[in-house]
Amino acid sequence: MECPHLSSSVCIAPDSAKFPNGSPSSWCCSVCRSNKSPWVCLTCSSVHCGRYVNGHAKKHYEDAQIPLTNHKKSEKQEKAQHTVCMDCSSYSTYCYRCDDFVVNDTKLGLVQKVREHLQNLENSAFTADRHRKRKLLENSSLNSKLLKVNGSTTAICATGLRNLGNTCFMNAILQSLSNIEQFCCYFKELPAVELRNGKTAGRRTYHTRSQGENNVSLVEEFRKTLCALWQGSQTAFSPESLFYVVWKIMPNFRGYQQQDAHEFMRYLLDHLHLELQGGFNGISRSSILQENSTLSASNKCCINGASTVVTAIFGGILQNEVNCLICGTESRKFDPFLDLSLDIPSQFRNKRSKNQENGPTCSLRDCLRSFTDLEELDETELYMCHKCKKKQKSTKKFWIQKLPKVLCLHLKRFHWTAYLRNKVDTYVEFPLRGLDMKCYLLEPENSGPENCLYDLAAVVVHHGSGVGSGHYTAYATHEGRWFHFNDSTVTLTDEDTVLKAKAYILFYVERQAKAGSDKL
């Protein structure tokens, strides 16, 4: 959003000597000394923790609004509001008076100058610390290596993704997909791009900007990014090359404006699907699929041509059943899908938190039931009845004809009004384990008891009030542990925290019969 308070709140010099030492992403709160989610005030350069830690950054703003009765303030001090702060990890800017993320800048571009200065500090600290970290990693064995991630010791090293300028929507989707094991493993096992002539023939290489615009490959850059996310590095990975390819082949996502994470996910999966259909690195798509024994022909769902790993894992089939209310003629159509977009029923839209007493809590089952319930189409959606030879009133009902291996559920939190796209901030209760989809199947008797059960793998959350602003983070489970991915910051979390999240996109993985409910 465009913030009107920048001129009175951004007062510090871009190269202020008041900044603490070390990398900005590891700066400590001046009150509680926590290094989780540090925010720097753009009025006085003081550092405090974010609202999801102990909320001292917000308290700093609130305290600054209390007039000083015992001391006479200068005119400059009175104008300074301490309302705007910057995330030291993602470099996003937030205004507490607007209660939203900020996309504009001052006339002198001070916000961008501070952002660039923090990035330079981060890069300098990274360079100085690189050799020390490398020695520590070399001295520890792969089996016994322990990594301290924001105060929590774990044997798994999760890597964050740098925010390249409002790219949290992309980071949240990439982290979610990286924790869908079967999908991620497929891309990680692909061969790298090879140069087939000259002295470098046979070597593994990667697409870069210098290789020319016609040489970009979304599959290759996506593969590279997935390989980097769980390789054991303590430093955040910069998906710059992938973002460049996204700009090249997806014009809708050019620029540094905030984008819709669900829209990006659909574009990403569609383009991966199309590129894999044409073969990759000289290896046909069909031969790669045949090598992966877990993706059998019976599990493939074709969308826009031949099947790929995208449709084999995310692809399902819906039956759209329409009945004419005048003559009773029934029309059936089968539609493939990669995800299901679910409305949040209107009767729940006033309840914004799990513990709020205002009415019953909306559940994921309520949203699924609303999606599959019999619905009478309104006057703007009259059905062309072939028997009546004209448009008639009708009813519509969805059945799921085939469930996918990974069930992606998108909750419709953004709705257009006359002039604005508003957010539905309702809390929706969802299960971590055992989501039973059997009652939504067209032929449930043909499915085994375990084939209809799904366990949660990842959740994408939107923080803020609008689709063009706010911030995206993701929760995902990896080898039994839940992680919170907030751009370059990755922290261990627990199931209770995940269950309190206001989900925007949910990724459920089909439960394997042998593993049962013990897998998560």
Assigned domain for 422 exists: no
Mind listing the pLDDT tens digit for each residue in 50-83? 877 888 999 999 888 876 444 444 444 445 578 9
Assigned domain for 207 exists: no
Say how far apart CA 240 and CA 85 lie, in whole Å: 25
- 273 or 359, higher pLDDT: 273
**Is the pLDDT reported for residue 371 higher than 60?**
yes
**Is the pLDDT reported for residue 197 higher than 70?**
no
Assigned domain for 88 exists: yes
Assigned domain for 145 exists: no
* Spatial contact of 47 and 12, defined as CB atoms under 8 Å apart: no
Give catalytic status of residue 168 as yes or no.
yes
- Indicate which CATH number applies to the domain containing 100: 3.30.40.10
Torsion of CA 263, 264, 265, 270, to 10 degrees: 90
Assigned domain for 102 exists: yes
Token pair for 370: 């609303």
Match 């006057």 to its residue by tokens: 379
* Spatial contact of 225 and 238, defined as CB atoms under 8 Å apart: no
**Is the pLDDT reported for residue 285 higher than 70?**
no
Match 């300098």 to its residue by tokens: 124
Mind listing the pLDDT tens digit for each residue in 19-48? 888 888 888 999 998 888 899 999 888 999
Confidence band of 294 (pLDDT split at 50, 70, 90): very low
Give catalytic status of residue 117 as yes or no.
no
Q: What is the pLDDT of residue 502?
A: 93
Say how far apart CA 115 and CA 10 lie, in whole Å: 12
Q: What is the pLDDT of residue 301?
A: 56
Q: Please state the rounded mean pLDDT for residues 351-361.
A: 64
**Is the pLDDT reported for residue 482 higher than 90?**
yes
Confidence band of 103 (pLDDT split at 50, 70, 90): confident
Least confident of 184-193, 364-373, 463-472: 463-472
Q: What is the pLDDT of residue 432?
A: 95
**Is the pLDDT reported for residue 94 higher than 70?**
yes
* Spatial contact of 107 and 261, defined as CB atoms under 8 Å apart: no
Q: Please state the rounded mean pLDDT for residues 399-411.
A: 93
Assigned domain for 18 exists: yes
Q: What is the pLDDT of residue 365?
A: 94
Mean pLDDT of all residues in the chain? 78
Assigned domain for 61 exists: yes
Q: What is the pLDDT of residue 125?
A: 65
Catalytic entry in 271, 462, 463, 471: 471
161: nearest Cα among 137, 179, 188, 182: 179
- 443 or 419, higher pLDDT: 443
Confidence band of 217 (pLDDT split at 50, 70, 90): confident
**Domain total of the chain:** 1
Q: What is the pLDDT of residue 462?
A: 93
Mind listing the pLDDT tens digit for each residue in 492-508? 999 999 999 999 999 99
Catalytic entry in 168, 301, 362, 452: 168
Say how far apart CA 510 and CA 315 lie, in whole Å: 12
Confidence band of 154 (pLDDT split at 50, 70, 90): very low
Q: What is the DSSP string of 42-90?
A: TTT--EEE-TTTT-HHHHHHHHHTS--SSSPPPHHHHH----EEEETTT
**Is the pLDDT reported for residue 277 higher than 90?**
no
**Which range marks the domain in which residue 29 is found?**
6-66+80-126
Say how far apart CA 140 and CA 147 lie, in whole Å: 10
Assigned domain for 16 exists: yes
